[in-house]
Amino acid sequence: GFTFLNKIVGGVVPKDYIPAVEAGVKGAMSNGVLAGYPMVDVKVTLFDGSYHEVDSSEMAFKIAASMGFKEGCKKAKPVLLEPIMKIEIITPDDYLGDVLGDFNSRRGKV
């Protein structure tokens, strides 16, 4: 699952902008950082930030959170985890070529 912790102290980021930060992170997670696949089981902790009374907006915080999440993920060197299954395929000889072609297109190994 997804866990978002707000550890901001002293009001360096107004509470009104915290949901925008969370939304930005969730948006980045749904697009993923590796091959566009969504990320799952992530814990995000917001420790610090800053704002400007005139220039800050919810959209700015959402974009900044998305960019920060992606940058942090790249520095963490994530690994794409793909499902591995052992399967047995039974098919008539007439369909063997089509079945193997489909299997190989899904990066299957015989």
Note the pLDDT of residue 10: 85
In a domain, 104, yes or no: no
The C-alpha atoms of residue 37 and residue 69 are separated, in whole angstroms, by: 15
Q: Which residues of the chain have pLDDT under 70?
A: none
CA angle 101, 107, 110 (to 5 degrees): 70
Note the pLDDT of residue 79: 86
What total of structural domains would you count in the chain?
Answer: 1
Note the pLDDT of residue 110: 78
Tokens of 54: 């005139």
What is the extent of the structural domain holding 65?
2-76
In a domain, 54, yes or no: yes
Q: What is the SS3 assignment for 14?
A: coil
Q: Which helix (H) or strand (E) holds 98?
A: helix 96-105
In a domain, 15, yes or no: yes
Tokens of 100: 């193997």
In a domain, 42, yes or no: yes
- CATH number at 58 reads 3.30.230.10
In a domain, 90, yes or no: no
Q: Which amino acid is at 22?
A: E
Note the pLDDT of residue 75: 94
In a domain, 19, yes or no: yes
Note the pLDDT of residue 80: 85
The pTM assigned to this predicted structure is 0.73
In a domain, 45, yes or no: yes
Note the pLDDT of residue 37: 86
